[in-house]
Amino acid sequence: MTYLDHAATTPMLPEAVEAMTAELGRLGNPSSLHAVGRRARRAVEESREIIAEAFDARPSEVVFTGGGTEADNLAVKGVHWARRAADPARTRVLVGAVEHHAVLDAARWLGDHEGARVEWIPVDERGRVDPDTLRAMIGAGDDVSLITVMWANNEVGTVQPVAELAAVAREHGIPFHTDAVQAAGQLPVAFAGSGAHALTLSAHKLGGPIGAGVLLLAKGTDPVPVLHGGGQERDVRSGTLATPAIVGMAAAVQVAVARRDEEARRLTALRDSLISRVRAAVPDAVLNGDPVHRLPGNAHLSFPGCEGDALLMLLDARGIECSTGSACSAGVSQPSHVLLAMGAGPERARGSLRFTLGHTSTEADVTALAEAIGPVVERARRAGLS
């Protein structure tokens, strides 16, 4: 198997598996006051401190969730509700046009059910948001409840000027949220340094377990809860804390951050090799996203005359696993909203593949793809003409 879909999920790091496995054999609800409960609480709080230190945050700013989607929903819905409650005039939500669906659909829900006026922040042909464009959209800003722009795009890998965008939001006193799920394992993500008010993390994108996430919340940013119950996580996110998953996430974060710079250099070289070799095999392949400001492990390419789904299945038959640049709903292929927002036509948006590298990737993976992609594209094009 050649696995080139690390942006979907990356294998757990051995250190995370070991830490989580050990915790699975221990007893204790971290909300209980007896000895085993206090032991579990200590494990959670030590994990909170590790994650806070890794991402330039305070332990009190770390709110554990069940994953990135929950954290995004808590940020988008919760901050909007809180701001609207304080000032009913704040009904506008400004959302990057190329966001992950966890943000897009949460914002659309607010528009459909809560009377929010959702406006999409346009991007350029590379997928980047211009700070001046954001400033112009804000206007006076007294009717905006929230601005949300992801740190790095999950499809095309483009890295946003988050600190500049957050500074624009702060000029107008507007909370700024960023989904840093894809960026956290490969880029130096610093919460305080970014100026963001809320930031989303997910464990399984950086070598931790599926089912654990974090929402970093700056002091004074108090979203209305999406979940109600026992009042855990300072009454922001109720629910029994998943101690083993949290411990596994902290172990993964510790390792990923310690190796990040070296790993980023390795992945950048591997990614550039992949792009070069794919283009040599398919000269008219088009690289999508920012050629400079992109994730080290991301290579997103369009193949003219091909359907992305057909390419994916042909590569899968050869043991090469990647993903399309489009989302499928009820078996119907839809053009990628990311590429459409970048100005690509529907045909290009449907004929794209995303190859993403991670800590287990090697030059052998790149070679396997380079040897397969030419014949696969040729076959897909023949099928499209028949």
Q: So which residues are the catalytic ones? A: 328
Distance between CA atoms of residues 160 and 152, nearest Å: 6
Q: How far apart are the first and last CA of the chain?
A: 30
DSSP element (H, E) containing 259:
helix 243-281
> Which residue shows structure tokens 């080290």?
296
User: By three-state DSSP, how is residue 158 classified?
Assistant: strand
Element (H, E) at 260: helix 243-281
Angle between helices 363-385 and 308-317 (to 10 degrees): 130
Residues 71, 223 contacting (CB under 8 angstroms): no
Which H or E element spans position 84? helix 68-86
Q: Which residues contact 250 (CB under 8 A, 6 or more apart)?
A: 19, 46, 47, 48, 50, 51
How many CB atoms within 10 Å of residue 258?
A: 11
Largest CA distance in the chain: 70
Letter string b/e over residues 70-81, b meaning 16 or more CB atoms within 10 A of that residue's CB: bbbbbbbbbbbb
167 C-beta neighbours (distance < 10 Å), count: 15
What ranges make up the beta strands (E) of 250-295? Answer: 286-288
192, two tokens: 């305080």
How far is it, in rounded angstroms, from Cα 372 to Cα 314? 9
Q: How many residues does the chain have?
A: 386
Residue 105: burial class (beta carbons within 10 Å; 0-12, 13-18, 19+)? middle
Query: Whose structure tokens read 């993390």?
Result: 201
